[in-house]
Amino acid sequence: MARSPKKSVPFKVYGPLAQVGNGVYNVETLVATRSILLDDASCQILNLWTSPWPVKLPVAETAMGFRFEIFNATTGTSRSALVKETGAVESSLIATLLPGENVTMVCNGTAWAHLGIRSGSVGTTS
């Protein structure tokens, strides 16, 4: 049986996820409020310098169908990430992430909602 000719790959292959710097994920140490933008990485691995730091999501009316994974990668005992909605209900609290917790945030174009807070390590911190 003859080998088929090589076909071009329709996307660029970057290598293992842990080495990707193309917006798949963001590792950051927070020293102030973090406002997530629509063009930010969908996975946010956040290390909090002090507690608590607000993490503000984009305005819901502009974010229909968007999803963000937010990880509190802090190892301290009292450093919470406060996930808040920005928009009509300015900075309303949606979730509080204790160290080691993560949440999936989804938007329906009207409001942000979380799919449950989970515990677990992400394997990396900044």
pLDDT in tens, 58-92: 999 999 999 999 999 988 677 889 999 886 555 68
Residues of the chain short of pLDDT 50, as ranges, are 1, 3-4, 6-22, 124-126
- H helices then E strands: how many in the chain? 0, 9
Architecture category of domain 22-119 in CATH: Sandwich (2.60)
pTM of the model: 0.74
Q: How many CB atoms neighbour CB 65 within 10 A?
A: 8
Can you name the residues that pair with 47 across neighbouring β-strands? 29
Backbone angles phi, psi at 116, to 5 degrees: 105, 140
Q: How many residues does the chain have?
A: 126
The domain limits of the chain are 22-119
Q: In what order do the strands lie in the sheet with 43-48?
A: 25-30, 43-48, 67-72, 101-107, 112-119
